[in-house]
Amino acid sequence: MNGKVHVMDHPLVAHKLTILRDKDTSVKDFREIVSEIGMLITYEATRDLPLTEKEVETPICKTTAPTLKGKKFAVVPILRAGLGLVDGVLRMVPSARVGHIGMFRDEETLEPHVYFCKLPKDVAERDIMVVDPMLATGGSADAAISALKERGCNNIKLMVLVAAPEGIARIQSSHPDVDIFCGVVDKGLNERGYIVPGLGDAGDRIFGTK
Ligand code: URA
Using one digit for the tens of pLDDT, what is the confidence trace for 28-86?
A: 999 999 999 999 999 999 999 999 999 999 999 999 999 999 889 999 999 999 999 99
Is residue 38 part of an annotated ligand binding site?
A: no
Look at residues 36, 135, 52, 15 and name the one whose alpha carbon lies nearest to residue 88.
36
* Ligand 1 and 41: CB distance under 6 A: no
* Ligand 1 and 202: CB distance under 6 A: yes
Confidence of residue 205 (pLDDT cuts 50, 70, 90): very high
Number of structural domains (the chain) is 1
Look at residues 149, 96, 94, 154 and name the one whose alpha carbon lies nearest to residue 125.
154
- What residue numbers bound the domain in which 173 lies? 5-207
pLDDT on residue 48: 93
pLDDT on residue 57: 98
Record the pTM: 0.95
What ipTM goes with this model? 0.95
CATH number at residue 27: 3.40.50.2020
